[in-house]
Structure 1
């Protein structure tokens, strides 16, 4: 994919940061010497880590140059590096690997997640949060829109745009031999002003791989067709707003000493 858009991503920063904070709240470490934010984005999650672990060596890592520019502006005293989570390894074991809303973009979790656990020092923690929303109307509507003939020729198989994450039980099985594992799932209900606001939220993330293959004219057509589906899928509530249901899967694994 082409680079991410930090400005678009941070339009809903408060809503995006809430699960990051709730993930961090369940990390069972009183202190940490080395912390890595895997897929740090514009630095909103990294800022939480810096506050929680004062004095720790905190590193933010992301594959997006644009996101890293934004993160460095936000936290000039923190080291940010460009890299690929799939192949990244630290020079020495770390105390906390924190991956907020990043691993869902990577395939092969059966190998990836145990590999990340292996990079921890004894007693260290792996903390993961991932959207688990492919069966929500927001994402079903993306695939339905992408399947229309005028878009399908450019997009291809819409079902392959983002791989499904594993069931919660499978993550437990992948990690529990080597770690104490805490797995939970939370559904957030975000009040949104209208269908257009929901589309704007998703343009920064889920819609990106659907829009990229399209010409500007087809992008506009796609967004109009998609918004019509969203209008129908998310009716107005009593206060006139729409509620965007957003399930997320959380995993915290503390490596056995």
Structure 2
């Protein structure tokens, strides 16, 4: 997959950062000394962690060079690491908080990934993760329907674009690691000015694997237009002319006891 576009991602920074704020607020640690932000992107989540715990050593890690460059320029006082979280992270040591917001859905084998991330947590520390659950979202279904059409079947993706599981899956997985697990879901309703804004939002995330298979900008725009035609029937226009974009997210926090 091509590298990420941090500027496009941050077009909806406020909306993307609210789940970060909600997850951080549920971490019951007063003064963690070491915090690792997995899949930190352009650093919006890492900066919120720094605001909550200004005295902690905080490191943001991401596999995208573009995202890390954007994060480093915006916050040179934070340590940033360009690395793939699917690889060996043991050389980074252990942490009081291992945090990840909207990142591990891009990583396979959660039955191996979650225990690996939990192994990085210090005693009395916590693993805190948020995952967008888009598998049944009309926007995601519209993309898959468009890609499966005769016109676009040459860019259809075999297998799952994301690694997504229901909350009970993560509870059973975490329960083997910790006897203190908090897990919840939140449905956000983002207010979009129109249907095109939903396309703009998703272009930098869920639609990206499909757009990356198209070499011509004109084809990318045409694919997005075909998706737009479908979602206009899936998301109602409100009385004020705007469109609500429901977005489900799964959160969990697991504590490692001393």
Pairing 1:176–2:154 present: no
2:128 maps to 1:127: yes
Q: In the alignment, is residue 166 of structure 1 matched against residue 165 of structure 2?
A: yes
- 1:188-240: CA deviations, max 9, x gaps? 00010111110000001010001111132321221110011111111201211
Name the CA distance, whole Å, in 1 between partners of 2:172 and 2:157. Answer: 34
Q: Deviations over 1:127-148 (max 9, x none)?
A: 0001001101010001000001
Aligned residue pairs: how many? 255
RMSD of aligned residue pairs (Cα, Å): 1.2
In structure 2, what is the equivalent of residue 25 of structure 1?
A: 25
Query: In 2, Cα distance between the equivalents of 1:96 and 1:90?
Result: 16
Contact 1:38 1:97 in 2 (8 A): yes
Residue 188 (str. 1) matches residue 188 (str. 2): yes
Equivalence for 2:47: 47
1:116 maps to: 117
- Structure 2 gap segments, 5+ residues each: none
* 1:130-169 matches, cutoff 5 A: 130-157=131-158, 160-163=160-163, 165-169=164-168
The Cα offsets for residues 44-83 of structure 1, whole Å up to 9 and x where unpaired, read as 1000111111211100000011111110111110110011
Give the structure 2 partner of residue 80 of structure 1.
80
- How far 1:6 sits from its partner (Å)? 0.5
For 2:62, the equivalent position in structure 1 comes to: 62
Contact 1:178–1:256 (8 Å) recurs in 2: no
Q: Is the 8 A contact 2:181 2:254 kept in 1?
A: yes
Query: Which 10-residue stretch deviates more, 148-157 or 94-103?
Result: 148-157
Specify the SS of the correspondent of 1:233.
coil
The CA deviation at 1:152 is: 1.1
More displaced stretch, 168-177 vs 61-70: 168-177
TM-score (norm 2): 0.96
5+ residue gaps, structure 1, are none
**SS in structure 1 at match of 2:77:** coil
Indicate the larger mover: 230-239 or 95-104.
230-239
Indicate if the aligned counterparts of 1:155 and 1:214 stay in contact, CA closer than 8 A.
Answer: no
Q: TM-score, normalised by structure 1?
A: 0.96
Question: Which segments of structure 1 move beyond 6 Å, counting only runs of 4 or more?
Answer: none
